[in-house]
Amino acid sequence: MTLASKSVVWNGQGPVHIGTYDPVNGRPEMGFLTNLYSVGCGNRTLALTPARETNTIPESCSGQRLPLKVMETGKSLAVSLEMVQFDGRTLAAAFYGAAVAKVAGTVTDEVLAELQPGDYFFLKNPRSSSVVIEDDAATAYVEGTHYEVSDADHSRYRLLEHPAGHVEPLKVDYEYAGFVNIAAFSKSSVERGIIFSGVNGDGQKARVIIPRIGLAMSGDFGWISDEASSITLAGQALYVPELAADTEFGPFTRIDLMPDLPV
């Protein structure tokens, strides 16, 4: 293939896939990434920032200490991905946790803290139904009289009044549907890899594979916002010893330019 001398204006768009680096079960052609999934189409930016660290050696002949040699001491690649569409796995990575699917089930005798009329209370599991509330003397609480359902999906309820002579504590039996749980900050670090399949406005294509990135959330995440909240995952690309000698990857990243992309 002849390499053209034309320049490229890159205004790319394209899907981003996130995976887990696994040198045992993964394939080197994919950067050893497994469990790849698409983070969605609402990607605002994917930015790579190369950096080069150097030391300068001054000369000692002229008396002016002019630069004689620049010695390279290190290279790095910063990665930043901003998204407005994402799933539980990506949200979990931002909060140093794992997304765990909880199957539907039942709960018996969940104990409530002491409540006063007008107090709200939440059950341990969301998406609750078939709620039965009794006090310690087995006196039943009646929906609409003693309590009301504020939001069953959030398992949020409100006590209206106690039956006469109620005995603490109150206990709840209920069913709940499946949900996804994220135990935030349950992991000390989150390491993932990224594959970007991009195309710009001229139909020119590029593919970028970064096998290992130490990801962390950069900036804020707005749970209450007038606009769509975005998550930015950012971190350093990490050295990949299994690919260091691979002529197509190098130690950090592989970039493939499609045949119709002039360089």
Q: What are the tens digits of pLDDT across the range 119-171?
A: 999 999 999 999 999 999 999 999 999 999 999 999 999 999 999 999 999 99
What kind and span of H or E run contains 115? none
Closest by Cα among 49, 101, 103 to 76: 49
Map residue 242 onto helix, strand or coil. Answer: helix
The pLDDT of residue 260 is 58
pLDDT in tens, 67-94: 888 888 888 899 999 988 888 989 998 8
Q: Where are the beta strands (DSSP E) in 103-257?
A: 105-111, 120-122, 128-134, 140-141, 147-151, 156-159, 171-176, 179-182, 190-199, 205-217, 231-237, 254-257
Phi, psi of 4 (to 5 degrees): -75, 160
The pLDDT of residue 259 is 66
When pLDDT is averaged across residues 9-31 and rounded to a whole number, the result is 87
The pLDDT of residue 41 is 81
Answer whether 0.85 is exceeded by the pTM.
no
Q: Across the chain, what does the average pLDDT equal?
A: 89
CB-hemisphere CA count at 13 Å for 102?
Answer: 16
Q: How many other β-carbons are positioned within 10 Å of the β-carbon of residue 25?
A: 9
Map residue 104 onto helix, strand or coil. Answer: coil
The pLDDT of residue 244 is 87
DSSP of 50-97, one letter per residue? EEEEEEEEEPSSSSS--EEEEEEEEEEEEEEEEESS--HHHHHHHTT-
Using the structure block, give the residue that is written with the tokens 């998204």.
83
Q: Which of 41-50, 56-65, 160-169, 246-255 has the highest mean pLDDT?
A: 160-169
In sequence order, the 6+-apart residues with CB closer than 8 A to the CB of 251 are: 239, 240, 243, 244
